[in-house]
Amino acid sequence: MNTVAVSTQSSVSERAKAVAAALVLGFVLIYTVGFAASASVHNAAHDTRHGLAFPCH
Amino acid sequence: MVNRVLAVSLLAGLLAGLLVAALQHVTTTPLILKAETYEAALRAAGPTHAAFTGEARVILAHGAAEAGHGEHAEWKPQDGIQRTLFTSAVTIATAIGFAALLLAGMIAANDVIDERRALIWAACGFVAFGLVPATGLAPELPGSASAELAQRQLWWIVTALVTAGGLFVFLRFDAPWLKALAVLAILAPHIVGAPHPAAPESKVPAEIAAHFAALSLAIQAALWLATGFAVGVIWPWLSRRAVAAQ
């Protein structure tokens, strides 16, 4: 399987960079859509926050 | 690899987010709109509901902000197509975020990223970010009473992270004491307890609220699973292309 070869070829530092980038992207996005207190962001995200069971209001 | 992480997150999130945005449009959003009619009726009924009850403040969704700012009403999307577009865009952004977190976990664990494994990670993501926090803070419709928002958000975030970490340790480590520690960690936020209002105040009929709670959990499950499946398909595809290009 090609994916096995690819994942074992990747060096530890390359993986660390990829994990860091993914964590930053993930947490920034989830924080903004689900938790940011700004009224405009809240109003834009309102139905999704309720619809995905994030704490809202 | 960083580029591939970003590309797969964006693509998988876009596909899964679009699918789930369509689901939301016909499931949870109509119930939110219905609940807002009860909320509006409650606001019109008088100011007594905005009072403090016991220790927890009853926070009326929208009511406080609109009462506090008078004529300087905050921007919000207009009902109709604009509101639907914003909701869909935010759902897509959430899916991209979930895809990125999924990839972060799988790459950190040095897992092979394929459909089956990505789906298993996604199911665990739903348990940690959806199901378990919802046992303390049930999904709410506009108009329901709840404790201070910041406290609930803090409890939700801590519970989600502790549950995710606990699940990982339980599933990946063999030492019995580590497994026991993981179970204790998962239970800890529930022993502390989620912040709740002193008295329930919602005027939204219980049938609608119950239906909404079940639907919104199902929608989050669908979002996680669709995101996981898309990650599991797109990552190997882009990896094969990268190898072929070398």
What's the pLDDT tens digit per position in B117-161? 999 999 999 999 999 999 998 888 887 777 788 889 999 999 999
Interchain pair A39, B65: CB under 8 A: yes
Interchain pair B32, A50: CB under 8 A: yes
Instruction: Reply yes or no on whether the pLDDT at B65 is more than 50.
Output: no
Planar angle of CA B125, B130, B131, nearest 5 degrees: 105
Which residue has 């199902």 as its token pair? B218
Q: Please choose, from the candidates B123, B144, B117, the residue with its C-alpha nearest in 3D space to the C-alpha of residue B203.
A: B144
Identify the pLDDT of residue B61: 52
Identify the pLDDT of residue B46: 55
For B194-213, what is the mean pLDDT? Answer: 83
Interchain pair B110, A22: CB under 8 A: no
- Residue B113 identity (one-letter amino acid): I
Q: What gap in Å lies between CA B39 and CA B45, rounded to an integer?
A: 10
Q: Say if the ipTM goes beyond 0.90.
A: no
Mutating which of B87, B92, B204 best tests the A interface, going by the most A Cβ atoms within 10 A? B87
CA distances from B104 to B130, B208, B242 (A): 18, 37, 20
- Answer yes or no: are the C-beta atoms of B92 and B13 closer than 8 Å: yes
Q: Read off the pLDDT band of B47 (50, 70, 90).
A: low
Identify the pLDDT of residue B53: 46
CB contact, 8 Å: A50 with chain B? Answer: yes
Interchain pair A10, B9: CB under 8 A: no
CB contact, 8 Å: A38 with chain B? Answer: no
Higher-pLDDT residue of A43, B64? A43
Identify the pLDDT of residue B31: 87
Q: Read off the pLDDT band of B71 (50, 70, 90).
A: very low
Instruction: Reply yes or no on whether the pLDDT at B44 is more than 90.
Output: no
Q: What gap in Å lies between CA A44 and CA A31, rounded to an integer?
A: 14
Q: Read off the pLDDT band of B60 (50, 70, 90).
A: low
Q: Which two tokens stand for residue B52?
A: 């403090």
Q: Nearest by CB to A48, which of B59, B91, B99?
A: B91
**Domain boundary assignment for chain B:** 2-245
Interchain pair B114, A3: CB under 8 A: yes
Identify the pLDDT of residue B205: 86
Q: What gap in Å lies between CA B221 and CA B219, rounded to an integer?
A: 5
pTM: 0.85
Range scoring the smallest mean pLDDT among B40-44, B84-88, B89-93, B189-193: B40-44
Model pLDDT for residues A4-55, shown as the tens digit of each residue = 445 456 788 889 999 999 999 999 999 999 998 888 888 888 888 888 889 8
Mean residue pLDDT across chain B = 86
Q: Please choose, from the candidates B79, B77, B60, the residue with its C-alpha nearest in 3D space to the C-alpha of residue B68.
A: B60
Higher-pLDDT residue of B50, B110? B110
- Distance to chain B for A13, nearest Cα, Å: 10
Interchain pair A21, B32: CB under 8 A: no
